[in-house]
């Protein structure tokens, strides 16, 4: 069953056509990688899929609902309830400890905090960062920060997991490990996962591979 349907999607920045009419669909529970050089439009596409930006024209439908129907507040609620984001940079808030960083989205969304905390503790144990939860981001290594970032993205059990160059700062061995970990966790949560990358090591671990160039799918 299709989770996301994209129809005629375009995006224009300062009279530059970044996306030039994208048509595709993503199935529930499947894992995808979008490959392309810098400037190909792959990250822009990812942000539109997650409701972080709005298209110039065309539509993104999530479970049959066009995201264009949502005002900014409803779009923020949609993201909180349905989408987990893993970026190349962790974007952890420096004035909160790691557990509070993880739980913050559930507080914003009015979710049951105890259940989210329980999920987070299990994920932290699984990822080997239980000892980091009471620490602040600046006290962690880069690898530990990224694992906390992954826990934050998955703690709400999102239907959609979007990853923008999640291994961009890692060597090949750790890229393989992080990608395998993301796939395993997405499978456990039955999340549709879409990863944007230019890394061959990452792309080789996916069966569903999409290629982008100059704002178009090849």
The CATH architecture one would assign to domain 2-217 is 3-Layer(aba) Sandwich (3.40)
Confidence of residue 110 (pLDDT cuts 50, 70, 90): low
Residue 107 confidence (pLDDT) above 80: no
- pLDDT for residue 109: 65
Residue 162: C-alpha distances to residues 3, 11, 94 (Å): 13, 19, 23
The whole-angstrom separation of Cα 27 and Cα 25 is 7
Domains of the chain: which residue ranges?
2-217
β 83-87/2-13 pair status: unpaired
All residues at 6 or more sequence positions from 130 whose CB lies less than 8 Å from its CB, including other chains: 121, 124
**pLDDT tens digits along 30-58:** 999 999 888 899 999 999 999 999 999 99
| Residue 126 clears pLDDT 80, i.e. is over it | yes
pLDDT digits (tens, 9 = 90+) for 49-93: 999 999 999 999 999 999 999 999 999 989 988 999 988 777 899
What pLDDT is stored for residue 65 in this prediction?
A: 94
Place of tokens 């009419």: 21
Asked whether residue 101 carries a pLDDT value surpassing 80, the answer given is yes
- Percent of the chain at pLDDT > 70 equals 98
| Residues 114, 98: Cα–Cα separation, whole Å | 16
Average pLDDT, the chain: 89
**What would the mean pLDDT of 112-139 be, rounded to a whole number?**
86
């Amino acid at each position: 069953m299709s989770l996301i349907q994209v129809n005629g999607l375009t995006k224009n920045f300062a009279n530059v056509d970044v996306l030039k009419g994208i048509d595709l669909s993503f199935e529930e529970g499947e894992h995808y990688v979008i490959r392309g050089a810098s400037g190909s439009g792959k990250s822009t596409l990812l942000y539109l899929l997650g409701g972080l930006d709005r298209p110039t024209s065309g539509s993104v439908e999530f479970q049959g609902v066009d995201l264009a129907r949502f005002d900014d507040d409803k779009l923020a609620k949609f993201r909180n309830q349905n989408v987990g984001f893993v970026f190349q940079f962790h974007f952890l808030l420096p004035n909160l400890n790691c557990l509070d960083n993880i739980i913050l989205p559930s507080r914003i969304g009015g979710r049951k905090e105890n259940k989210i905390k329980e999920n987070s503790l299990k994920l932290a144990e699984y990822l080997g960062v239980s000892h980091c939860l009471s620490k602040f981001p600046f006290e962690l290594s880069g690898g530990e920060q990224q694992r906390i970032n992954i826990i934050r993205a998955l703690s709400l059990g999102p239907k959609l997991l979007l990853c923008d160059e999640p291994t961009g700062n890692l060597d090949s061995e750790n890229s393989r490990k992080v990608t395998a970990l993301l796939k395993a966790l997405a499978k456990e949560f039955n999340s549709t996962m879409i990863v944007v990358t230019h890394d061959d090591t990452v792309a080789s671990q996916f069966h569903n591979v999409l290629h982008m160039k100059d704002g178009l799918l090849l």
